[in-house]
């Protein structure tokens, strides 16, 4: 299965997918392309090191968000992408893009959705005083972190956690869960009916 990984930042999830899927000869998953909306994303260095084609597509080069989405769509078509994997990608797509790739875009989020959606889930979790957080992998719909949930893993919040401690434990679980879900998708084990996602293990 041919995937694209979309990034904005450090790319630790991208690195995990490179190591556990792309470079594993027994895996059916190939990362055909990496797309970043930020020029300085360290994820781009990781893509180059793995010899994966990468593109920088910034919102400011385009007159509007439809044109931004269209550019990404052209790149995805060019590389024959079957599944779009968001890994720390900090932009929302327009509804037309989401509908075009319905059930073919997934995202990972460091909280147990629907709790703490948005750009600051870890600090929001700590500020709220929640005792349990976790990692969610979900399909992307028109909303913010609101699509059908594929998999979740709970992670305890400790009394002395700061944002860095909790995010580090959440990321360790992200690196475990994301490759697993992508393998399930590649093996045709995931089916969706409305909001309900069934994984046939």
Residues forming the site for ligand GRF (CB under 6 A): 9-13, 87-88, 108-110, 171, 174
Query: What is the smallest separation between the CB atom of 7 and ligand GRF, expressed in angstroms?
Result: 6
Choose between 79 and 138: whose C-beta lies nearer to ligand GRF: 138
Question: Do 137 and 178 contact (CB within 8 A), yes or no?
Answer: yes
- Residue with nearest beta carbon to ligand GRF: 88
Choose between 97 and 116: whose C-beta lies nearer to ligand GRF: 116
Choose between 35 and 87: whose C-beta lies nearer to ligand GRF: 87
Choose between 9 and 53: whose C-beta lies nearer to ligand GRF: 9
Q: Which two tokens stand for residue 189?
A: 């084990």
Q: Which two tokens stand for residue 37?
A: 């909306």
SS3 85: strand
Choose between 91 and 100: whose C-beta lies nearer to ligand GRF: 91
Among 22, 109, 138, 167, the one annotated catalytic: 109
Query: What is the smallest separation between the CB atom of 9 and ligand GRF, expressed in angstroms?
Result: 4
Question: Cα angle at 144 between 138 and 150, to 5 degrees?
Answer: 10
Query: What is the smallest separation between the CB atom of 118 and ligand GRF, expressed in angstroms?
Result: 10
Query: What is the smallest separation between the CB atom of 110 and ligand GRF, expressed in angstroms?
Result: 4
167 catalytically annotated: no
- Distance separating the N- and C-terminal Cα atoms of the chain: 18
Q: How far is CA 64 from the centre of its chain?
A: 23
Look-up of token digits 């027994």: 26
- Give burial (CB, 10 Å; 0-12/13-18/19+) of 138: buried
Query: What is the smallest separation between the CB atom of 87 and ligand GRF, expressed in angstroms?
Result: 5
Q: What's the half-sphere exposure (Cβ side, CA atoms, 13 Å) at 64?
A: 2
Q: Which two tokens stand for residue 16?
A: 């995990």
CA–CA separation, 60 and 65 (whole Å): 9
Active site residues: 109
């Amino acid at each position: 299965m041919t995937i694209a990984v979309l990034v904005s930042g450090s790319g630790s999830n991208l690195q995990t997918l490179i190591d556990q899927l792309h470079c594993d000869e027994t895996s059916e998953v190939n990362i055909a392309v990496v797309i970043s909306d930020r020029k300085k994303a360290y994820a781009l260095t990781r893509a180059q090191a793995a010899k994966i084609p990468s593109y920088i597509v910034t919102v400011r080069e385009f007159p509007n968000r439809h044109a931004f989405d269209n550019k990404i769509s052209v790149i995805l078509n060019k590389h024959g992408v079957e599944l779009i994997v968001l890994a720390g990608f900090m932009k929302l797509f327009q509804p037309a893009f989401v509908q075009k790739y319905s059930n073919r875009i997934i995202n990972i989020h460091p909280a147990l959705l629907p709790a703490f959606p948005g750009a600051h889930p870890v600090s929001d979790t700590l500020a709220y005083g929640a005792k349990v957080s976790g990692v969610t992998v979900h399909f992307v719909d028109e909303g913010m972190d609101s699509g059908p949930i594929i998999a979740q893993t709970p992670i305890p919040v400790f009394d002395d956690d700061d944002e860095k401690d909790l995010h580090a434990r959440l990321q360790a679980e992200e690196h475990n869960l994301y490759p697993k879900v992508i393998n399930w998708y590649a093996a045709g084990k995931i089916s969706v009916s409305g909001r309900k996602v069934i994984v046939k293990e």
